A = this chain, B = another copy of it.
């Protein structure tokens, strides 16, 4: 038995409240190391002689990563504190116990040597996410390049942007006019990158958080956009760029002008009067996003500054009725600020969705006290490695997703933003070397696996592009440029997603891989979804009950290159 791989800690990964009275307890062990795991538990305070509260329950293996298994059990309790420990049965008859971070050869007798779960504490700290967010499809729009009502020359619109700053005159009216398109595709949430006043085309350097950029439109346009989206059953999310501003933002501008007397000294991290560097590679004398003098970093430790941006977030929730915020550079801003932010936002808008940008394992931010969920870049890494690069095997792909499943709280796991590309990465089609079969498989993965599918505008009609700014090309609107078959495939995938969503949550899910065929299978008690991550064809397994194939080809009992298929059992 691999004792060094066994882990359980009293935190939101391993032990938490699902809803009052129901708790999830998770254990990490070595991979394929155990035959059975049991959870033993009892009331801390009631002596056995008064009432024997001891119980035990079989734990289910819910995920595997490269070197670990993850077991879970749910327990219904009504106690002050629960005491518990684990029983580990190996394949060779070995039987050990894991209690209070220790491996024991016999069950612990002293209840103070067991794990402790204070019920009230864990209930208070329950990770609560908006229920409406379950099984929704997000669509990311880069507003300056998505759609416009202006007269923009087709030649200019479709020219790949040379510089990040190239403006195509996309605007909110353009988006409003295309809501039908998004509705037809099946989108549930429209997420727009920043739309506030800024001198850049990407708008990540905000000059005024209270003004819609004049090139994009007006506050009324945003209100209209949200109302029309809502009337169609869609939600709208905006980009909260609170890590930094533009230098033209009033507080920084005041510092540049009136350093000695400015009342905004504590709004940034300046060492002396700010001097914007004239060339790249010279570090500014103030903290920035990266080292870009054009993006000075706000000091959100300053309560005034923190309150200012929190007020901005509340203002647009109130004024435009938006449904949530995506937090730009979220992982470079302290948990302390995000805790304040969450408290203020959720107090007034408990249903607002808060999604952090982070490119890494995000456990630290997924404790229930800061964000609801994150942009799932680790999903993208795994999917690209497996499908686009073919640099990892099917098993390795499953292991990568297993790591996420085993290490994040089950409240946010189903709403992780599963992306295969964004405005910050080369497009998926580009990464696939233009192979649309591969793109189709990637789309099936993001749309049919647990998580919140996150589509980057244009992927669904075959838009391609390399690294920024090329990944931000003008959206393909002319029918002769769009891959309509691909669009229909996305539509079918989304429809299928909605059909299978009640089944995704049922029972236990299992993910398995067959490295000989390159097939990954995601199964629950009610459905099975297959992803074929290789060239060639493979025979489908036999399943009883109805089944439905969702690739573009006809169903003939085979999975072709990079095809996926879904079955209801």
Q: Which of B4, B280, B297 contacts A5 (CB 8 A)?
A: B4
Kindly state whether residue A462 has any CB partner on chain B within 8 Å.
no
Alpha-carbon gap, A280 to B125, bound state (A): 30
Residues of B close to A11: CB separation below 8 A: 363-364
Q: What band does the interface of chain A fall in when counting residues whose beta carbon is under 8 Å from B?
A: 35 or more
List the B residue with the shortest CB-CB distance to A400. B102
Q: A287-B80, A364-B9 are in contact. Are A125 and B2 (CB under 8 A)?
A: no
Residues of B close to A360: CB separation below 8 A: 10, 100, 112, 115-116
Kindly state whether residue A290 has any CB partner on chain B within 8 Å.
yes
B287 touches A116 (CB 8 A): no
Q: A120-B332, A125-B336, A332-B118 are in contact. Are A112 and B361 (CB under 8 A)?
A: no
List the B residue with the shortest CB-CB distance to A396. B102
- The interface bits of chain A over 286-301 (1 if a CB of B lies within 8 angstroms of the residue's CB, else 0) are 0111110000010001
Q: For A10, A11, A46, A103, which residue has the most chain B Cβ atoms within 10 angstroms?
A: A10
- The interface bits of chain A over 52-95 (1 if a CB of B lies within 8 angstroms of the residue's CB, else 0) are 00000000000000111000000000001100000000000000
A101 touches B361 (CB 8 A): yes
Kindly state whether residue A335 has any CB partner on chain B within 8 Å.
yes
Residues of B close to A334: CB separation below 8 A: 120-121, 124-125
B281 touches A10 (CB 8 A): no
Residues of B close to A4: CB separation below 8 A: 2, 4-5, 30-31, 67-68
Alpha-carbon gap, A291 to B289, bound state (A): 53
Alpha-carbon gap, A529 to B5, bound state (A): 32
B66 touches A3 (CB 8 A): yes
B290 touches A116 (CB 8 A): no
Residues of B close to A403: CB separation below 8 A: 101
Residues of B close to A80: CB separation below 8 A: 287-291, 332
Kindly state whether residue A7 has any CB partner on chain B within 8 Å.
yes
Kindly state whether residue A333 has any CB partner on chain B within 8 Å.
yes
B287 touches A361 (CB 8 A): no
Residues of B close to A103: CB separation below 8 A: 66-67
List the B residue with the shortest CB-CB distance to A289. B80
Q: Which of B50, B115, B118, B359 contacts A112 (CB 8 A)?
A: B359
List the B residue with the shortest CB-CB distance to A335. B125
- The interface bits of chain A over 371-388 (1 if a CB of B lies within 8 angstroms of the residue's CB, else 0) are 000000100010000000
Residues of B close to A369: CB separation below 8 A: 335-336
Alpha-carbon gap, A377 to B80, bound state (A): 20
Alpha-carbon gap, A11 to B101, bound state (A): 18
Residues of B close to A364: CB separation below 8 A: 9-11
Q: Which of B10, B290, B297, B377 contacts A363 (CB 8 A)?
A: B10
Residues of B close to A2: CB separation below 8 A: 2, 4-5
Kindly state whether residue A183 has any CB partner on chain B within 8 Å.
no
CB distance from A397 to the nearest CB of B (A): 13
Alpha-carbon gap, A474 to B2, bound state (A): 50
Residues of B close to A124: CB separation below 8 A: 301, 334, 336
B67 touches A363 (CB 8 A): no
Alpha-carbon gap, A125 to B336, bound state (A): 8
List the B residue with the shortest CB-CB distance to A329. B118
Give chain A interface residues in 284-319, CB to chain B under 8 Å: 287-291, 297, 301
Q: For A101, A280, A335, A369, which residue has the most chain B Cβ atoms within 10 angstroms?
A: A101
Alpha-carbon gap, A269 to B116, bound state (A): 21
Alpha-carbon gap, A67 to B289, bound state (A): 41
A361 touches B31 (CB 8 A): no
CB distance from A313 to the nearest CB of B (A): 19
A45 touches B336 (CB 8 A): no
Residues of B close to A155: CB separation below 8 A: none
CB distance from A472 to the nearest CB of B (A): 19
Residues of B close to A290: CB separation below 8 A: 45, 80
Residues of B close to A36: CB separation below 8 A: none
Residues of B close to A7: CB separation below 8 A: 7
A361 touches B301 (CB 8 A): no
Residues of B close to A278: CB separation below 8 A: none
Residues of B close to A31: CB separation below 8 A: 4
List the B residue with the shortest CB-CB distance to A4. B5
A9 touches B363 (CB 8 A): yes
CB distance from A135 to the nearest CB of B (A): 27
Kindly state whether residue A351 has any CB partner on chain B within 8 Å.
no
Closest 8 CB pairs of A and B: A4-B5, A4-B67, A45-B290, A118-B332, A124-B334, A3-B67, A4-B30, A121-B334
Can you list 24 residue pairs at the A/B interface with Cβ under 8 Å?
Answer: A2-B2, A3-B66, A9-B364, A10-B361, A10-B364, A46-B281, A46-B291, A50-B281, A66-B102, A67-B103, A80-B288, A80-B290, A100-B360, A100-B361, A101-B403, A112-B381, A113-B381, A115-B360, A120-B297, A120-B334, A121-B332, A121-B333, A121-B335, A124-B301
